[in-house]
Chain A
């Protein structure tokens, strides 16, 4: 039998926090996207852990949907990054200040 779920939940919380720090600190849009993927993975790990603890397949079904939404999000997000790069030639979030008053 594998370890108790508390270890997995703690690890997921730490990974989520690292992703949140990266999202707040980094300026490159691509790396901010990767940090969002980190946070989504932490949530997935939590779902799978609870699926095992509660012995309920529903948690794993939710992970399936999170995967699909993450894929759709990355496709559209990277499309926006490419489109924006054509106009501004930058992927740094601080340079996208054309709405600044």
Chain B
């Protein structure tokens, strides 16, 4: 059992580390607020890219170099591009009036409940007596081959764990991706137009 006080006590951070964290945190928070407050969906997507870059910087700062690269490639490179593609494809890149409140009283309630959640999480993190389990349940972050002069063996270690301990989950995610691709193709496919009149009736029934 490892307690929070023991976990949080680390060696003294250096000034570059503090500066990197402060800059990345500022980028992340500005981007996150930008996603929520942008009136234009394209601006929201670009703010999301900003947040994702900041998170990638914090990944590097925490010795997760491989995940930082994956974060940039998959999130910023694929997911946000998919968002932008859909926004432009649908032509919904117009500014939206976010001052109207369709459900009266919903926004204050959303803020109140989110503030309660945030306060609860922070209070729990600060005061609770954590029992976070044993160290190194799966494996250390550094590989055995990583010496002081060799680069950290973190990607190799991660790959080893993915293909041994997490092999079943890894195969399941492969199946999940295939299912998602097939589902997207089925969803995006237009129904075959055999007869024009049949198409009309089915359309009117569905939209009625």
Contacts and interface: CB of A to CB of B under 8 A. Distances in A.
Contacts of A57: 138-141, 154, 157-158, 161
A39 to B, nearest CB: 10
Nearest to A52: B62
Contacts of B62: 2, 8, 48-49, 51-52
Interface residues of A, number: 72
A94 B102 contact: yes
Given A5-B7, A82-B89, A25 B176 contact: no
Interface size bracket, B side: 35 or more
Contact of B44 (A34, A55, A69): A34
Nearest to B176: A72
B98 A26 contact: yes
Interface of A: 1-11, 13-22, 24-28, 30-31, 33-35, 37-38, 41, 44-45, 48-58, 60-61, 63-65, 67-76, 78-83, 85, 87, 91, 94
A-B pairs with lowest CB-CB distance, top 3: A79-B187, A22-B36, A58-B138
Interface of B: 2, 7-14, 17-18, 20-21, 25, 28-29, 32-33, 35-36, 38, 41, 44-45, 48, 51-52, 55, 58-59, 61-64, 66-67, 70-71, 74-75, 78-79, 82-83, 86-87, 89-90, 92, 96, 98, 102, 106-107, 110-111, 113-115, 117-118, 121-122, 125-126, 132-133, 135-141, 154, 157-158, 161-162, 165-166, 169, 173, 176-177, 179-181, 183-184, 187-188, 206-207
